[in-house]
């Protein structure tokens, strides 16, 4: 199913018709083609006052747990000095109280700019010579490693870069976007990381380190329990990192992550 199809309901056609009537007659045919049933409801649900939208705006964009940072896109050299808390605060403002300003100039916002935490791809695309910048990024975040999504691994497997300091989690498990992708999850148990696939488990070498203090370890690790999911982001000795789309826990469903979510290991 396309993302919007899950939102289609008995009143979808009437809602779409009301929307079309707000347009000029010459615009309606094209708008009809571009507005499948369920799309308007999806936009409403993820809007600032929608069921998912209100909840999402309460969540952190990045979390740091046990010295490991989790974020959707990545942390760039320009953004790292802000630290996790300031990154979360700024993006939250841009999507709530400053939303009108963000809409006016989205690419100037931390939420949408190319080197922001939701869109940055440098940690997967920069050459190996970028290693000193990775060291600096992690130092500014007080972290030993960073786990990212957003950019699909070329190998179709969870992989690492820069001596295990960057973990690339996105294996393209949403077939609608990556036809040859695969489902995956990353488990961290007693400090050891394992990539989990439908047919196998493989060790992942994440950089070791003392991390940071207990207080700082929990920076940004706010509870993330959604309207249709029961997912908690907090410090766990044993954790399972599963991708989630718009906050809905989705093991073996999609890797279009806003961030990686830390959940208790499943029995």
38 and 157 in a single domain? The answer is no
Joined tokens for residue 46? 């993820």
CA distances from 28 to 10, 37, 55, 190, 202 (A): 21, 15, 33, 58, 52
14 and 79 in a single domain? The answer is no
Question: How, if at all, do strands 185-189 and 192-196 pair?
Answer: antiparallel
* Angle made by CA atoms 161, 158, 69, in degrees to the nearest 5: 60
- Domain hosting 68: range is 61-263
The pTM of this model reads 0.76
7 and 102 in a single domain? The answer is no
104 and 30 in a single domain? The answer is no
156 and 40 in a single domain? The answer is no
39 and 81 in a single domain? The answer is no
Maximum CA extent, the chain: 64
Total domains in the chain come to: 2
In a domain, 257, yes or no: yes
Give the residue carrying structure tokens 């190998």: 155
24 and 92 in a single domain? The answer is no
User: What string of H, E and C letters represents the secondary structure of 194-251?
Assistant: EEECCCCEEEECCCCCCCCCHHHHCCCCCCCCCCCCCCCCCCCCEEEEEEEECCEECC
Q: Which of 254, 199, 205, 202 is nearest to 2 (CA)?
A: 254
In a domain, 234, yes or no: yes
In a domain, 50, yes or no: no
221 and 188 in a single domain? The answer is yes
Q: First CA to last CA across the chain, in angstroms?
A: 29
132 and 12 in a single domain? The answer is no
24 and 151 in a single domain? The answer is no
| pLDDT score recorded for residue 261 | 36
In a domain, 171, yes or no: yes
User: Would you give per-residue pLDDT tens digits along the chain (267 residues)?
Assistant: 567 888 888 889 999 999 999 989 999 999 999 899 998 998 889 888 899 999 988 889 999 998 999 999 999 999 999 999 999 999 999 999 999 999 999 999 999 999 999 999 999 999 999 999 999 999 999 999 999 999 999 999 999 999 999 999 999 988 778 888 899 999 998 889 999 999 999 999 999 874 444 334 444 443 333 444 333 333 333 344 444 333 333 332 223 333 333 333 333
In a domain, 52, yes or no: no
In a domain, 55, yes or no: no
In a domain, 194, yes or no: yes
In a domain, 189, yes or no: yes
110 and 19 in a single domain? The answer is no
| pLDDT score recorded for residue 2 | 65
25 and 150 in a single domain? The answer is no
Residues 258 and 56: beta-carbon distance below 8 Å: yes
């Amino acid at each position: 199913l396309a993302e919007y199809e899950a939102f289609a309901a008995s009143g979808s056609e009437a809602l779409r018709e009301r929307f079309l009537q707000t347009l000029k007659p010459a615009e309606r045919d094209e708008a009809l083609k571009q507005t499948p049933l369920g799309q308007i409801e999806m936009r409403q649900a993820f809007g600032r006052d929608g069921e998912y939208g209100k909840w999402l705006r309460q969540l952190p964009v990045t979390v740091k747990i046990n010295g490991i940072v989790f974020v959707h896109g990545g942390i760039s050299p320009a953004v790292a000095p802000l630290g996790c808390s300031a990154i979360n605060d700024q993006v939250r403002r841009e999507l709530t109280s400053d939303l009108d300003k963000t809409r006016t100039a989205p690419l100037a916002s931390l939420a949408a700019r190319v080197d922001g935490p939701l869109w940055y791809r440098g940690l997967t695309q920069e050459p190996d010579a970028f290693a000193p910048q990775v060291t600096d990024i992690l130092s500014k975040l007080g972290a030993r490693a960073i786990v990212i999504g957003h950019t699909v691994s070329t190998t179709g497997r969870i992989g690492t870069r820069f001596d295990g300091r960057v973990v690339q989690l996105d294996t393209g498990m949403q077939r609608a976007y990556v036809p040859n992708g695969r489902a995956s999850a990353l488990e961290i148990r007693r400090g050891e990381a394992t990539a989990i696939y439908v047919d196998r488990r493989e060790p992942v070498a994440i950089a070791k380190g003392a991390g940071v203090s207990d207080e700082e370890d929990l920076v940004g690790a706010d509870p993330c329990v959604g309207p249709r999911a029961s997912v908690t982001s907090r410090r766990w000795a044993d954790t399972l990192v599963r991708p989630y789309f718009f906050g809905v826990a989705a093991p073996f469903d999609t890797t279009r992550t806003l961030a990686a979510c830390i959940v208790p290991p499943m029995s």
